Amino acid sequence: MQSYTIGQAARLLGVSPDTARRWADAGRVATHRDESGRRLIDGRALAAFSVEVAQGAYAEDGETYTSARNAFPGIVTAVKLGDVAAQVEIQAGPHRLVSLLTREAVDELGLEVGMRATARVKSTSVHIDRA
């Protein structure tokens, strides 16, 4: 499973690295250390925590998240596969985006809960880019 540094997690959550570090220090999201001593967050744990943050469980005053050119970098929080179609949910800071696409596309991108991905919005369509 993919793990994220505090800085990477902060970008995915739409907060500063200091905020992400404080949350980790407070035990709001579990961390572990790699062989070089860096603190890492497991992708599945970060996915679950990102949903909590978006629901306002740990919101801080003044924290905002904006997208540039309709791109929403975030973390995959759910993948539901059917025989032909699939549904992918991405938490991008406070934004939850849901995309319906083919199962073949999900398989080709290798999308799974806990990995980084970018939702791109054009008109009423949401396109997913693997990060």
58 pLDDT tier (thresholds 50, 70, 90): very low
> For position 124, what pLDDT does the model report?
67
Compute CA 60 distance to the chain's CA centroid, rounded to the nearest angstrom: 18
> For position 64, what pLDDT does the model report?
41
Structure tokens at 7: 């800085």
Q: How many CA atoms, within 13 angstroms, populate the side-chain half-sphere of residue 9?
A: 31
| For residue 121, pLDDT beyond 70 | yes
59 pLDDT tier (thresholds 50, 70, 90): very low
Point out the least confidently predicted range of 17-26, 34-43, 54-63, 104-113. 54-63
Q: What one-character-per-residue DSSP string does the chain give?
A: --EEEHHHHHHHHTS-HHHHHHHHHTTSS--EE-TT--EEEEHHHHHHHHHHHHTTTT--TT-----BTTEEEEEEEEEEE-SSEEEEEEEETTEEEEEEEEHHHHHHHT--TT-EEEEEEETTEEEEEE-
Average pLDDT, the chain: 86
